[in-house]
Amino acid sequence: MYRFTRYLHGLIEVCDIRYISLVLLSQRKRKIVVYTDSDERNRVNGAYILASYLIIYHGMTADAAYLRLEAAQPPKFIGFRDAALGEPTYLLHLHDVLRAVEKGLYHKWFDINTFDAEEYELYERVENGDMNWIIPGKILSFCGPHNESRIEDGYPYHSPETYFDYFRNSKITTIVRLNMRMYDAKKFTDAGFQHVDLFFIDGSTPSEDIVEKFIRVVDNAKGGVAVHCKAGLGRTGTLIACWMMKEFGLNAAECMAWLRICRPGSVIGPQQEFLVSMQKFCWSMSQNSVVQKARRSNGQEAGSEKKSVGKLVSKVDEIRLSQAIQNGLDG
């Protein structure tokens, strides 16, 4: 998304300069055409990055940007699925993803002018730590460390010491482990970090007690919080989404969309439906009046069909799961 929007904006800036001359000479406008082939996965991905450009550079709302793309249907845009094997049980609609982009800008989680793409791509690589900021300065998701650094079958495993310098420089103070113990937590605590264990089974969903404890840990942390499970995707993304719903009033779909924009593969299988079921619980934990307002607004949509937004007629519940499976969904 970042590279496309920057590239397209650069083209338009050049075209704006040329357009002045064109107006003087021929009164003709230059247009930029963005296209994909007919593959339904490419179509929805193309719509996502183009609409994101409209939101980021032209200040459009997610609703308005989505409406601009309605002309590209039919066929309807397919939904985005999780990274689990087998048939998907839940799909994110394009509109959910665009709302996540809009709210990411609103909450200043992303700034096109200051975002460091090279740093993002450096640290997301497995050999460099496999970590991504979800909420910059507050919550980072990363792959679970092992007691000693090693390379096994070509795959690098990192010890806690690997992360010390980056975490300190990033003002991370707290580490949350969600998986079984693969390293001695004392390595982190001896280095001055707080370390918290909130174990639950891989691929499963947390209890309300774990959700509440996690939210308290994040809220009470003196600095940033680095969260991991085994891969830093499913369990990690699920609990981070719970905190996001509580803290910012986002709904489950928006949280999942933002997590996957930042760290592809986050939230897997039944964790998706779990987050939907936890919306009201997480919203109820917030004392923020803005979140309470969002809670009332989102609560009207939870468990029922979403109402139309202006001319918006393509809703999340209109995506036919059977059609997505038949078409080999892989968004």
Structure tokens at 193: 């970090």
C-alpha 26 chain-centroid distance: 45
Whether 229 is a known active-site residue: answer yes
3 state DSSP class of 162:
helix
Q: Where would I find the beta strands (DSSP E) of 75-217?
A: 131-135, 139-142, 150-152, 155-157, 172-177, 194-197
Instruction: Name residues whose C-beta falls within 8 Å of residue 190's C-beta, 6 or more positions apart in sequence.
Output: none
Q: Active site residue: 229, 242, 262, 282, which one?
A: 229
Rounded distance, CA 252 to CA 190, Å? 37
Rounded distance, CA 60 to CA 191, Å? 46
3 state DSSP class of 108:
coil
- The answer to whether the CB of 212 falls within 8 A of the CB of 285 is yes
Question: Over the range 63-78, which residues count as b (16 or more CB within 10 Å of their CB) and which as e?
Answer: ebbbbebeebeeebbb
Q: Which positions are catalytic?
A: 229
